Amino acid sequence: MNHAPACQEQVPHLSIQRPAPWWRRVGPYLGPYLNLFYLLVAGLAMLSVSRIALVTWQHDRVQAAGIYNEIFVQGIRADLILLGYFLVIPLLLAPFLAHQRSARLWAGLTSWWATLALVFIGFMELASPQFIMQYDVRPNRLFVEYLSYPAEVFGTLWHGYRLALILTTGATLLLAWALHVALKRASAHMTMWPAKKLLLTWPLLVLLVFVQIRSTTGHRPANPALFALSGDALVNSLVINSAWSVLDAISSLRKEANSSEIYGSMPREKILAEVTSAPWMKGYQFTSTDIPTLHFQQAAIPREKPLNLVIVLEESLGATFVQSLGGLPVTPELEKLKHEGWWFEQLYATGTRSVRGIEAVVAGYAPTPARSVVKLSLAQQNFYTLALGLGKQGYQTEFVYGGEAHFDNMRSFFTGNGFQNVVDRRHMQPRFEGSWGASDEDLFDTALTRLSHLHAQKKPFFSLIFTSSNHEPFEFPDGKIALHDPVKQGVNNAVKYADFALGKFIRAAKQQDYWRDTVFLIVADHDNRVYGDSLVPIKKFHIPGLILGAGIEPRRIRTLASQIDLGPTLLSLLGVSSAHPMIGRDLTQGSTAPGRAMLQFDNYFAWLEGSQATILRPRQQPLQGRYDAASGELVLDTAPPSQIAVDRAMAHVMLPSLLYREQRYKLPK
């Protein structure tokens, strides 16, 4: 029996409406500034995540520096400064474009601007770990300089860091796509404000962003130097972000004529008096008002006929790779040769780049915080070099390089300043070629041919030979050496090959007629990597130097010496008396008295005398430390350095900037 269903009460269907996501709900409150708000929030999030990752990676050094909390607190402050720069441009355009009639244009413009800004920030953070592994700081001026040579840099990255390059590029493209999609969708929820509301709120927002960028009530706006909170340069660089570091470097390129002024000021007369009062300068007369450091140097070793000069500038061959200087046993040829000439036990490079080594060795020019003068516009003609000076003495002058001579602007600098001929990769037929050009063996084979040609001209000659095999990605021919490390393509094996090629070259040169009339200098441009937990890693500036040939008696030069001392010393050994503006020390006049070295590391300048180091910092008080050459440790003192030490350091870093700016590092017409 079927029963009719009981009457049932009809329950109405209830639809539960979920609240809109927060990023949609804030739209009306932020109005036309919605995308700028997303730029600020997303930028802070990206930079904070990156900083956390970097600090975790470098935990030991951060912990040793003792500023764990400050890194994150001050890091957000630095991030706000960077993001303020990106906010200010669209913000200033808001009164003109953020209206209902141009809503689509404004939404698209701010969306694309925020995307580009965030992609740039993201790319710089993604590129930071690999840069830190090489230079021990965040991307800085070097990052900008290398962008001028895409072929060489891409070759190095592709052959030496292929996986990192692919991952960084892929991650950047993915980030760009995700940001574009997200911001495009966000723009659809942008609400335009009435003109009155826009104009009333706009001045307040401009003021807030101005305060955000300035970030201090001090006399000057905040700058990266303000965030140097420890004695470890790497840890200091973790406080700021890579995008700001690079943008600040680009800005500094416009101020290079006055670069040393970041350390303070000093009267011109005091600069010159301090520099010329050095013990090895006191015997000279400085009578030129046009060229204040010009003086006549009488050769300490008289020669009936001036000797030839060959400088072999070895790429990245620091003391790190010389066993008798505390390094690895990967330079056996150099170790054998050191017993045949003048061997420098405490020679220091002036910087960390090849061009810095070139300006010091070839021009006797002291370092500054600016780029090397090899690249600067006012030094491209009539700037003193050994080639310019020796050319006036009747020398033939030549530069021989296995790569492309245009790199680092070398061709322009050399041809404008005394080098009569440039021989590079285009003039060679190498048996082995790497990313940076011909192998060192091919380079030296070409150099031997060129030296024979120069010798046949019956005139004295000066040849500068610059190697490149010991450069990442460390490519060299197979079967030449017994590998030091199991994996062939590494720095220790590349150094050992470079040393092998050097020994082969010297043995061949000894068989030539010009050997007895030629002085050979073998010296590094810099070490391969400069790193360490010191504000200035002095140990990584230590390089080998050897002068031999022409009957030079073996000698150990144990005094502290700088690359800028090599030029004056070579002139005396050649038997060349001449006027020049170099301020280096002629070590033929006595090599036992105390010396000094000057080191430029990023924006820090170190003046080293004995074990005492005086460190100049941009817009901060100088520091003093004790350097132990045996351990390679620099211990900073709590007490400030003496005024005498500060004045000496200041004078020597201010002088080259002054001479460059006024174009007074030259010879008389």
Q: How many structural domains does the chain have?
A: 2
Residues 596 and 562 in one domain: yes
Q: What is the pLDDT of residue 395?
A: 98
Average pLDDT of the chain is 91
- Pseudo-torsion of CA 288, 290, 293, 295, nearest 10°? -40
Question: In whole angstroms, what is the distance from residue 446 CA to residue 460 CA?
Answer: 19
Question: In whole angstroms, what is the distance from residue 544 CA to residue 356 CA?
Answer: 16
Q: Which residues pair with 344 in a beta bridge?
A: 545, 557
Residue 14 included in any domain: no
Asked if residues 648 and 274 have their Cβ atoms less than 8 Å apart, the reply is: yes
Q: pLDDT for 629-645, tens place per residue?
A: 988 999 999 999 999 99
Question: In whole angstroms, what is the distance from residue 579 CA to residue 567 CA?
Answer: 12
Q: Which residues pair with 625 in a beta bridge?
A: 613, 636
Residues 148 and 239 in one domain: yes
Distance of CA 345 to CAs 92, 200, 334, Å?
A: 59, 70, 13
Q: What number of other Cβ atoms are within 10 A of residue 663's Cβ?
A: 14
Residue 399 phi/psi, 5-degree rounding, is: -120, 130
Residues 556 and 481 in one domain: yes
Residues 318 and 236 in one domain: no
Residues 323 and 249 in one domain: no
With a threshold of 0.85, does the pTM exceed it? no
Strand, coil or helix: what is 360?
helix
Residue 17 included in any domain: no
- Pseudo-torsion of CA 381, 387, 389, 390, nearest 10°? -150
Q: Which amino acid is at 524?
A: A
Residue 7 included in any domain: no
Residues 236 and 375 in one domain: no
Residues 249 and 274 in one domain: no
Residues 249 and 297 in one domain: no
CATH number, position 479: 3.40.720.10
Residues 169 and 247 in one domain: yes
Kindly state the tokens that stand for 594: 């105390």
Q: What is the pLDDT of residue 7?
A: 43
Asked if residues 427 and 446 have their Cβ atoms less than 8 Å apart, the reply is: yes
Q: Measured at the alpha carbon of residue 257, what is the angle toward residues 252 and 258, in degrees to the nearest 5?
A: 75
Residue 645 included in any domain: yes
Residues 239 and 273 in one domain: no
Least confident of 223-227, 232-236, 520-524, 614-618: 223-227
Q: pLDDT for 350-392, tens place per residue?
A: 999 999 999 999 999 999 999 899 988 889 999 999 999 999 9
Q: What is the pLDDT of residue 13?
A: 52
For residues 95-115, average pLDDT: 91
Q: Which residues pair with 636 in a beta bridge?
A: 625
Residues 179 and 278 in one domain: no
What is the percent of the chain with per-residue pLDDT over 70, rounded to a whole number? 94
Owning domain of residue 500: 268-283+293-661
Q: Which residues pair with 423 in a beta bridge?
A: 400
